[in-house]
Chain A
Amino acid sequence: GQNIDQPTEMTATEGAIVQINCTYQTSGFNGLFWYQQHAGEAPTFLSYNVLDGLEEKGRFSSFLSRSKGYSYLLLKELQMKDSASYLCAVLDSNYQLIWGAGTKLIIKP
């Protein structure tokens, strides 16, 4: 079966750095996405990785290792507004998006 694993919840301090991990087992791979979802709102696109390595975009970076079936989202200089759920999703061989359950990130002052 297809499976995406990410921690259910994480807590971090304002100004700090946090890394949210995602491991996957899917039938084929055509890229991995990270989305941010604030409570009561729809997800918003953060990043897309299809090749191994690190993609940096401002305070957010996303890393992919296809051989390990592993990705992480790195958030730097955390702000209170970063409190949200972070969803990892993989595009499989049929171009279907397989979703993780999301990681709820709690930022404390």
Chain B
Amino acid sequence: GAVVSQHPSWVICKSGTSVKIECRSLDFQATTMFWYRQFPKQSLMLMATSNEGSKATYEQGVEKDKFLINHASLTLSTLTVTSAHPEDSSFYICSARATDSRDRVSDTQYFGPGTRLTVL
């Protein structure tokens, strides 16, 4: 299989606080993980590409100082939304790219279940 977990599933926080979201590949190693954001009834929007042991690559328009990404191991990447505001309320989804071909399709991105963030 190719299981990716994400924690927490949902979070409600006050404006100005920081929120950390964890993404783990449970049964495979992922040198590359991706962070997406999706607003209601809209497409997935790639925020950043997270590479193990190096700095994340952010998409244009995504503030790297606001969305801190750390990919400390081959199975864990974290996204911290710093000083969250109501406009940051969204569905945040991570994915991990499988690079081996055992019982997974290589280069496929497998998604975590997502984290619904509501900032009051």
Contact = CB atoms under 8 A, between A and B. Distances in A.
Q: Are both chains from one complex?
A: yes
A30 B108 CA distance: 11
Contacts of A95: 107
A48 B105 CA distance: 8
Interface of B: 2, 6, 34, 43-44, 46, 49, 91, 93, 105, 107-114
A30 to B, nearest CB: 7
B44 A45 contact: no
Nearest to B113: A42
A100 to B, nearest CB: 8
Contact of A45 (B46, B108, B112): B108
Given A41-B113, A42-B114, A87 B44 contact: yes
Contact of A48 (B6, B44, B49, B108): B108
Interface of A: 30-31, 33, 35, 40-45, 48, 87, 91, 95-97, 99-102
A64 to B, nearest CB: 14
Contacts of B114: 41-42
B107 A31 contact: yes
A30 B107 contact: yes
Given A42-B93, A42-B112, A42-B114, A101 B107 contact: no
Scoring A35, A41, A97 by chain B CB atoms within 10 A of each residue's CB, the highest score goes to A97
